[in-house]
Structures are given as C-alpha cells and as structure tokens.
C-alpha cells in the first residue's frame, strides 16, 4: 500500500467516526419533530364557529401544553368534506347532521350555544323585527324597509351560497321547518365573513350571522327579535328565540380520532369555558335546559312565522328563482324586475279574489272594473284586454294551456291554476323548473 493511499483511508475513517456521533444526536430531534406533528390537529369549518369557539379555545389548548391547532376557517361544507376525506381532524358546524350519507359516518358533538342574528348596517334605524317579518323578508313577501318601520328603501337580502352552510341552514330550518328552503336573496357570498363585509357597505343590506361572529364589530348591528336583543343571558334563558348549538365534527375512523376527542373533552374545562365567554358564547353545559325547550321552541317559531314543516321538495319563495345568480347586485335591473314581478303577482291575486265574486253566464264582455262586482266565476282568459281581457264564454271549462309571462315560475303558475308542480312537470315533460318566456304549458292532462 502506498503512503498516499494510506493517508486517504485514514482521513476517510476519521471523518466517518466524527460523523457518527453527529448523526446520533440529530436522530432525537427528528423524533421530536415527528411527535410535534402527531400532536397537532387541523380544524376546518365555518367562520362563525371559528370566531366563537375554536380561535380562543385553541389558544388555551396550546397554552395548556396539548399541542397546536391549525385553523382553516371557510364554511361548513368545506369543513365536513375535509373531515370525511381525512384532510382535517376537526370541523366546525353551526348545524347538526343533515342525515346525508356523508354526515352519517361522522360524529357531531355540540360544544356551545350561539345566537343567530339578523344583521344590518349600524346606521339602519329599524329597532326590532318579529319572527313573521323575518320569515316574510326571506320568503320575498316584504321588500321595503318602510314595511317594518324603516326608511323607504329596498331590503337587499344577502345569503351564503352554500346550501349546507350551517348558519343559513339553521335559520331556514327554524323559520320554514326545512334547512333547504329557497329564499329571495339576490346576492350570495362564500361565507358569513364576506356577507358581513357586504352588509357593512350597504345601509339597505340584511343577512344572518351569529352573535359571536359580529361581536365587537361597530359597523354592524343585530336587530332584536320581538324586542329581545341577542345576548348570552337571553340565550341562556331561552327568551331570545333564534339560538342554536355549535358543533365540532369528527371522524371515528381518523388516525387522530383520540386526539380530536381530547380537544372536545377540553371544551368542558375552565380555561375553555372562559375563552368561550369572551365572545358571548354560552358553554354547552350551561345551556342544558335549552335542550328540553328545543321542540316546543321550534313549533312556536313556526306558528309565529306562519309556516309549517313540510317533507319533500320545498316550495320556492317568490323571487327565489333569481337567488341562484350569485353575482347579481341588489339594485341591478334583473333584481328589480324580479321584485316588480312579485308585486304584479300579488296584485293579480288580489284582483282574482275580487273577480271570484262575479256571478252569471257572460260572453264577450270586457272587464274594466271589479270594484263593485259580486258573485262567482270559473275562469279568465288573460290573453286579451288591457287588464283582464274577456271572460271566457265557455266559463264552465277550465283553461288547458298557459303562455309563460315575464316573472312567472312553475310554482306560481301551479298555484294560480290549482294544480301541483309535479303535475305540470309530468304533463309538459319538464326535467326541471326552468321556464322560457313565451313557452306554452299544458295545464291539464291529455
């Protein structure tokens, strides 16, 4: 062996000896980093639950040495999807399970109570709304602030676009008996945070959020319901009617199911409860009496709102046909035209009620006034004449076809002619409820 080769081998051996201790020392650091990753949890869900529950409690959790919570606030649907798909360990939801196949495989644990609040810009003068007024605003029957004690200005109803959003779903379930009820909301947002930002810029805006979400925001105000403001005390005694549980959603099959459950258990500790109360949120155990009140409370709300729970396909609200157009501004021509169509339909219904008192057999008579009419009639042909055209000479036979006019929806046509929407779909071979201006519909079976 040459001297030069021996020297090279010596250097290599010394380097290897020096490197081994360094590698041994670095191994515990890698293990420590791995442990830190295991102790962290990912939370995703609606903004309201993030603001009211998880944000402060996550800080208390980390301060107690339990690890880190990575917050990804967006909306309810995204959180539930993430937990079901394994990309998040916890989800926040302002609604219970909707009994879908996806939700059935997850666990919804109530951890707090919050209030649904009808919010407007702080400058809006309206001091209170009844449950019936809130129902009618969302249903499209009330369109102007002057109808509820405010200024003579249109009510621009804002909503969250996702049909499964916890806040929207919960409000509609309380007011209409079904969380998937369509509403007359011309402008839609991706979550409640964006909705709040939009309303803060519009003195005529109205939408739903939660007390925890808007707490401390001077640009927004929560309108009291039947004179009762949304406060933690009024949630606790049930006197504010629009209270809801907030849920944490977990997947029992998740590798971190035990850690996620530990965080839920932590919600009942003193540090977590103190964190909740900072945002006017009631710890779930403090509102145990509200569980017993829930069934009677929901029934009372439906009675006061003039609604009743209906199974199956929900009835479209007047104006809800344009609610799906997410980017329409509240004062755009489309929105105003839709509102005018609603007003025209209401006027037609009043005139129809007057005409129902006309009596006798008539032919080729132009109706110009119905103020003094009495009796009953069977049908009208609206195809001619300035107002109502001519009373059908064949009055004993109902109309068999109808031509779609501006502002018509399948549900309003069905109601006007005393038929079911499902029948109209069947008789006209319709795959959905979309109609075209001038389209001729069959109103009777062949």
Which of 73, 116, 69 has its CA nearest to residue 94? Answer: 116
SS3 446: coil
**Residue 373: what pLDDT?**
31
Helices (H), 231-287: 232-236, 257-266, 270-277
Give 94-119 pLDDT, tens digit per residue: 999 888 888 888 999 999 999 999 99
pTM: 0.64
Q: Would you state the pLDDT for residue 408?
A: 85
Q: What is the pLDDT of residue 341?
A: 54
Contacts of 139 (CB under 8 A, 6+ apart): 176, 183, 184, 317, 318
| pLDDT for 416 | 81
pLDDT of res. 344: 61
Q: Taking a C-beta distance cutoff of 8 angstroms, is the pair 83, 260 a contact?
A: no
Q: What is the DSSP track for 54-65?
A: IHHHHHHHHHTT
Residues of the chain where predicted confidence (pLDDT) is lower than 50: 1-38, 321-336, 338, 342, 355-398
Question: Dihedral angle at the C-alpha atoms of 196, 198, 204, 205, nearest 10 degrees?
Answer: -50
Structure confidence at residue 348 (pLDDT): 58
For 427-438, b where at least 16 C-beta lie within 10 A, e where not — what string?
beebeeeebeee
Residues 150-184 have pLDDT tens digits of 999 999 999 998 767 899 999 999 999 988 888 99
How confident is the model at residue 417, as a pLDDT?
A: 82
């Amino acid at each position: 062996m040459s001297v030069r080769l021996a020297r090279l081998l010596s250097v290599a051996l010394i380097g290897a000896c020096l490197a081994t201790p360094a590698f041994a020392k670095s191994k515990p650091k890698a293990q420590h980093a791995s442990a830190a990753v295991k102790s962290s949890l990912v939370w995703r869900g609606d903004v309201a639950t993030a603001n009211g529950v998880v944000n402060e409690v996550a800080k208390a959790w980390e301060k107690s040495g339990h690890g880190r919570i990575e917050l990804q606030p967006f909306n309810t649907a995204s959180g539930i999807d993430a937990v079901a798909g394994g990309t998040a360990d916890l989800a926040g939801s302002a609604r219970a399970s909707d009994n879908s196949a996806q939700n059935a495989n997850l666990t919804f644990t109530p951890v707090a109570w919050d209030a649904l609040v009808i919010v407007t810009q702080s400058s809006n003068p309206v001091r209170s709304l009844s449950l019936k007024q809130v129902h009618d605003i969302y249903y499209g029957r009330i369109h102007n602030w002057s109808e509820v004690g405010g200024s003579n200005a249109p009510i621009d109803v804002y909503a969250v676009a996702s049909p499964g959003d916890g806040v929207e779903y919960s409000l509609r379930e309380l007011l209409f008996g079904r969380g998937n009820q369509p509403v007359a909301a011309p402008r839609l947002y991706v979550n409640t945070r964006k909705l709040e930002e939009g309303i803060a810029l519009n003195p005529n805006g109205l939408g739903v959020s939660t007390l925890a979400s808007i707490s401390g925001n001077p640009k927004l105000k929560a309108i009291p319901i039947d004179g009762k403001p949304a406060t933690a005390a009024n949630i606790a005694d049930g006197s504010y009617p629009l209270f809801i549980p907030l849920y944490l959603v977990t997947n029992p099959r998740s590798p971190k199911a035990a850690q996620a459950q530990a965080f839920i258990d932590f919600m009942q500790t003193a540090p977590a409860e103190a964190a909740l109360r900072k945002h006017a949120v009631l710890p779930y155990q403090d509102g145990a009496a509200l569980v017993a009140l829930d069934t009677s409370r929901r029934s009372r709300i439906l009675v006061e709102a003039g609604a009743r729970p209906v199974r199956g396909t929900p009835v479209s609200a007047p104006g809800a046909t344009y609610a799906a157009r997410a980017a329409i501004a509240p004062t755009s021509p489309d929105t105003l035209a839709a509102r005018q169509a609603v007003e025209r339909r209401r006027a037609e219904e009043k005139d129809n009620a007057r005409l129902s008192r006309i009596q006798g057999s008539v032919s080729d008579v132009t109706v110009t006034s119905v103020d003094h009419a009495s009796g009953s009639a069977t049908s009208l042909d609206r195809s001619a004449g300035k107002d109502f055209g001519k009373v059908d000479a064949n009055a004993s036979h109902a109309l068999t076809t109808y031509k779609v006019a501006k502002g018509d929806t399948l549900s309003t046509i069905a109601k006007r002619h005393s038929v079911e929407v499902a029948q109209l779909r069947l008789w006209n071979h319709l795959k959905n409820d979309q109609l075209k201006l001038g389209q001729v519909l069959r109103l009777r079976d062949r």
